[in-house]
Amino acid sequence: MSDIYPNSSIGKLALEIYDHELGFEATGQAKVNEINIISGWLEGHLGELNNLIYTHFSGSSPESFNLEEQAILKEMYICEYNRKSNRRVLRGIDGSSGESDFQVIREGDSMIQKSNKNITAKIYHDAYLQSHKRVQDMVSSYNHYGAKPTQINSDQVAFTGDSSNISNYYYR
Protein backbone atom coordinates (compact mmCIF):
# COMPACT_ATOMS: atom_id res chain seq x y z
CA MET A 1 0.00 0.00 0.00
CA SER A 2 1.38 3.42 -0.87
CA ASP A 3 1.44 6.15 1.71
CA ILE A 4 -1.01 8.85 0.61
CA TYR A 5 -1.02 10.45 4.03
CA PRO A 6 -0.09 13.33 4.70
CA ASN A 7 0.62 14.82 1.28
CA SER A 8 -2.92 14.84 -0.10
CA SER A 9 -6.36 16.21 0.65
CA ILE A 10 -7.61 12.64 1.15
CA GLY A 11 -4.75 11.98 3.60
CA LYS A 12 -5.55 15.14 5.55
CA LEU A 13 -9.21 14.12 5.71
CA ALA A 14 -8.14 10.67 6.96
CA LEU A 15 -6.06 12.32 9.71
CA GLU A 16 -9.05 14.44 10.71
CA ILE A 17 -11.25 11.33 10.91
CA TYR A 18 -8.58 9.50 12.91
CA ASP A 19 -8.02 12.34 15.37
CA HIS A 20 -11.49 13.84 15.77
CA GLU A 21 -14.04 11.17 14.95
CA LEU A 22 -12.64 7.80 16.00
CA GLY A 23 -10.31 8.88 18.80
CA PHE A 24 -7.72 6.13 18.43
CA GLU A 25 -4.81 6.26 20.84
CA ALA A 26 -2.11 4.75 18.63
CA THR A 27 1.11 6.66 17.97
CA GLY A 28 4.07 6.37 15.64
CA GLN A 29 3.94 3.82 12.84
CA ALA A 30 0.68 2.27 14.11
CA LYS A 31 -1.02 5.66 13.71
CA VAL A 32 0.45 6.18 10.23
CA ASN A 33 -0.70 2.69 9.19
CA GLU A 34 -4.24 3.33 10.45
CA ILE A 35 -4.41 6.71 8.69
CA ASN A 36 -3.21 5.07 5.47
CA ILE A 37 -5.97 2.46 5.78
CA ILE A 38 -8.56 5.21 6.25
CA SER A 39 -7.18 7.29 3.37
CA GLY A 40 -7.16 4.21 1.14
CA TRP A 41 -10.81 3.60 1.95
CA LEU A 42 -11.66 7.25 1.26
CA GLU A 43 -9.86 7.26 -2.08
CA GLY A 44 -11.40 3.93 -3.02
CA HIS A 45 -14.91 5.21 -2.37
CA LEU A 46 -14.66 8.46 -4.34
CA GLY A 47 -16.61 6.72 -7.10
CA GLU A 48 -19.47 6.06 -4.70
CA LEU A 49 -19.39 9.73 -3.67
CA ASN A 50 -19.41 10.71 -7.34
CA ASN A 51 -22.51 8.58 -7.92
CA LEU A 52 -24.30 10.14 -4.98
CA ILE A 53 -23.57 13.79 -5.72
CA TYR A 54 -23.04 13.72 -9.50
CA THR A 55 -19.37 14.71 -9.46
CA HIS A 56 -16.19 13.29 -10.97
CA PHE A 57 -13.52 13.28 -8.23
CA SER A 58 -10.54 10.99 -8.53
CA GLY A 59 -7.07 10.53 -7.08
CA SER A 60 -5.65 11.37 -3.68
CA SER A 61 -5.96 15.15 -4.17
CA PRO A 62 -9.15 15.70 -6.18
CA GLU A 63 -9.55 19.08 -7.81
CA SER A 64 -12.28 21.30 -6.27
CA PHE A 65 -12.76 18.87 -3.37
CA ASN A 66 -14.46 21.37 -1.06
CA LEU A 67 -15.64 21.12 2.53
CA GLU A 68 -19.13 19.96 1.55
CA GLU A 69 -17.85 17.00 -0.45
CA GLN A 70 -15.30 16.17 2.26
CA ALA A 71 -18.03 16.19 4.92
CA ILE A 72 -20.14 13.73 2.93
CA LEU A 73 -17.19 11.40 2.32
CA LYS A 74 -16.22 11.57 6.00
CA GLU A 75 -19.75 10.67 7.06
CA MET A 76 -19.75 7.80 4.56
CA TYR A 77 -16.61 6.44 6.24
CA ILE A 78 -18.10 6.77 9.73
CA CYS A 79 -21.26 5.02 8.55
CA GLU A 80 -19.23 2.11 7.15
CA TYR A 81 -17.05 2.00 10.29
CA ASN A 82 -20.16 1.62 12.48
CA ARG A 83 -21.64 -1.03 10.16
CA LYS A 84 -18.45 -3.10 10.28
CA SER A 85 -18.15 -2.70 14.06
CA ASN A 86 -21.73 -3.92 14.45
CA ARG A 87 -20.97 -6.98 12.30
CA ARG A 88 -17.82 -7.72 14.31
CA VAL A 89 -19.81 -7.68 17.57
CA LEU A 90 -22.55 -9.84 16.05
CA ARG A 91 -19.96 -12.44 15.03
CA GLY A 92 -18.97 -12.62 18.69
CA ILE A 93 -22.58 -13.05 19.80
CA ASP A 94 -23.33 -15.99 17.52
CA GLY A 95 -20.23 -17.87 18.65
CA SER A 96 -18.43 -17.78 15.31
CA SER A 97 -15.47 -15.90 16.80
CA GLY A 98 -14.51 -18.84 19.04
CA GLU A 99 -14.53 -16.79 22.25
CA SER A 100 -16.09 -18.22 25.37
CA ASP A 101 -19.26 -16.34 26.16
CA PHE A 102 -20.05 -15.37 29.72
CA GLN A 103 -21.65 -12.37 31.37
CA VAL A 104 -20.54 -12.66 35.00
CA ILE A 105 -18.11 -14.92 36.84
CA ARG A 106 -18.17 -14.88 40.64
CA GLU A 107 -15.89 -16.53 43.09
CA GLY A 108 -16.15 -15.53 46.70
CA ASP A 109 -16.04 -11.75 46.91
CA SER A 110 -14.56 -11.36 43.43
CA MET A 111 -16.60 -10.71 40.32
CA ILE A 112 -15.67 -10.34 36.65
CA GLN A 113 -18.32 -8.89 34.37
CA LYS A 114 -18.01 -8.63 30.59
CA SER A 115 -19.78 -6.00 28.60
CA ASN A 116 -23.10 -7.12 27.20
CA LYS A 117 -22.53 -7.84 23.49
CA ASN A 118 -26.22 -7.44 22.70
CA ILE A 119 -26.22 -3.89 24.01
CA THR A 120 -22.93 -3.14 22.24
CA ALA A 121 -24.32 -4.47 18.95
CA LYS A 122 -27.45 -2.35 19.37
CA ILE A 123 -25.39 0.77 20.04
CA TYR A 124 -23.31 0.20 16.90
CA HIS A 125 -26.46 -0.53 14.89
CA ASP A 126 -28.12 2.68 16.12
CA ALA A 127 -24.93 4.65 15.35
CA TYR A 128 -24.91 3.14 11.85
CA LEU A 129 -28.55 4.07 11.25
CA GLN A 130 -27.99 7.64 12.46
CA SER A 131 -24.88 8.01 10.33
CA HIS A 132 -26.64 6.53 7.28
CA LYS A 133 -29.48 9.03 7.75
CA ARG A 134 -26.94 11.87 7.98
CA VAL A 135 -25.33 10.75 4.71
CA GLN A 136 -28.73 10.69 3.01
CA ASP A 137 -29.61 14.15 4.37
CA MET A 138 -26.23 15.61 3.38
CA VAL A 139 -26.45 14.17 -0.13
CA SER A 140 -30.00 15.42 -0.54
CA SER A 141 -29.05 18.91 0.62
CA TYR A 142 -25.96 18.97 -1.56
CA ASN A 143 -27.87 17.87 -4.63
CA HIS A 144 -30.71 20.29 -3.94
CA TYR A 145 -28.73 23.40 -3.00
CA GLY A 146 -25.12 22.99 -4.06
CA ALA A 147 -24.99 21.08 -7.30
CA LYS A 148 -24.71 22.83 -10.64
CA PRO A 149 -27.54 22.03 -13.01
CA THR A 150 -26.67 19.71 -15.85
CA GLN A 151 -28.87 21.70 -18.18
CA ILE A 152 -30.24 25.25 -18.20
CA ASN A 153 -32.32 27.09 -20.73
CA SER A 154 -31.46 30.50 -22.12
CA ASP A 155 -34.28 32.19 -20.18
CA GLN A 156 -32.45 31.48 -16.90
CA VAL A 157 -29.17 33.22 -17.82
CA ALA A 158 -28.56 36.60 -19.37
CA PHE A 159 -26.29 35.93 -22.34
CA THR A 160 -23.35 38.35 -22.56
CA GLY A 161 -21.42 36.72 -25.33
CA ASP A 162 -19.07 34.65 -23.17
CA SER A 163 -19.93 31.30 -21.67
CA SER A 164 -18.23 31.93 -18.30
CA ASN A 165 -21.59 33.01 -16.84
CA ILE A 166 -23.04 29.61 -17.58
CA SER A 167 -20.23 27.61 -15.94
CA ASN A 168 -20.52 29.64 -12.72
CA TYR A 169 -24.30 29.60 -12.68
CA TYR A 170 -26.09 27.94 -9.75
CA TYR A 171 -29.78 27.32 -10.06
CA ARG A 172 -31.54 28.64 -6.96
Contacts 24+ apart (CB under 8 A), 63-70: 65/9, 68/138, 68/142, 68/146, 69/142, 70/9, 70/13
pLDDT at 162: 52
- Contact (Cβ atoms closer than 8 angstroms) between residue 74 and residue 134: no
How confident is the model at residue 56, as a pLDDT?
92
What residue ranges do the domains of the chain occupy?
9-167
pLDDT confidence bin for 171, thresholds 50/70/90? very low
Give per-residue pLDDT as tens, 131-169.
999 999 999 999 988 755 555 565 555 555 555 554 554
Cα 11 from Cα 32, distance rounded (Å): 10
Q: Mean of the pLDDT values across residues 40-50? A: 95
| Alpha carbon distance 115, 73 (integer Å) | 32
Q: pLDDT-derived band of residue 125, with 50, 70 and 90 as boundaries?
A: very high
Please, what is the average pLDDT of the chain?
81
Span 14-30, average pLDDT:
86
User: Are 35 and 55 within 8 A, CB to CB?
Assistant: no
